[in-house]
Structure 1
Amino acid sequence: MPPVDATSSPLPPRRQYFDEVYRAHMPTVLRYLRRRLGDAAGEDATHDVFVRAYDRFESFDPDRAPIIAWLYGIVANVIAEHHRQEQRRLKAIERAHHADGARTSPAHETTGLSPALVSVLRHLPLGDREALLLTVWGELSYEETAAALSIPIGTVRSRVSRARAALARSLGPQAPPQSSTIEKGSAHA
């Protein structure tokens, strides 16, 4: 934990530093979790992430990983707990699209995800989907994704490559080329 001048704030150093971390990273974590879980669940999950981060803040080791990667490790655990909800949500969006036979659906307008993309994401293995979404929606580097998921960087590269290949196979010309990156911050991969 970086040194904090105790005379500059009435808060204890741990609390002051955590407040700085919260202000710096909460919007990014919230945006990512809203995209993964929906608005309400994303907000609840963001709360869970920062409560857990505060409770475990003494375990943060800046020599092991940057703070954002440590936070996304907690995010990954929270998402794993919400995984069944996420599967039901993606399945419902896919069903809504098939039920109305339309090119877009109300679910598409709500989530910003095309029905075809939802279907592909839903069918990706969890590890591949998590690595892809952390690098794309979470805007983490491969190194940060590896630290967040506690896996080797080579595994991250393999998972992202497999996920991109699945997108390319399933979405055809709609999918980005293998050599390009999926636009960061875009719901359309």
Structure 2
Amino acid sequence: MKIYTKTGDKGTTGLLGGSRVSKGHLRIETYGTVDELNSYIGLLRDQEVLVLKSEELIEIQNNLFVIGSSLASEATKAKVNIPKLNEYSVSELERAIDSMDEELPVMKHFVLPGGNHSVSFCHIARCVCRRAERLVVTLSESDTVDVLVIKYLNRLSDYLFTLSRWMAKRLGVEETPWMPSK
């Protein structure tokens, strides 16, 4: 199978279901952002401090592929069976957040991103996740989107924030609190 098809040379791409849309279409921007997020999760998985979280991160990456498939398909015309998210995926993120949170000091201030490359990568992933969530919400205002996609991305951004704090603790990096000027 060749990697190139030449079908997108005029600025369109195909959805699962057969329709062709502009590569600038909101749906394409949305699942492209989910793909970008998946790549950042892969970068996180490569961080030595996250060896213990490797399987968890692979599961998240698999779920992001499920989300991408859902966003790339036309609900009414899909010719292929698209995998679906389930509530268990969301509850697994919540379980992981709670588990990490037990090891962390109580947050008294917002935390400035940074302090270590690995922690910073996690904050970037969190920001991309929030962007993906915003795009999915916007898409849902004009097209059919599985409500669990929004819920999962919302919880995933919470997971990534907690993971950044967990990483900082494991790496001995002091968090920098946000202290607004008076």
TM over 0.5: no
- Structure 1 or 2: more strand by fraction: 2
TM-score, L = length of structure 2: 0.31
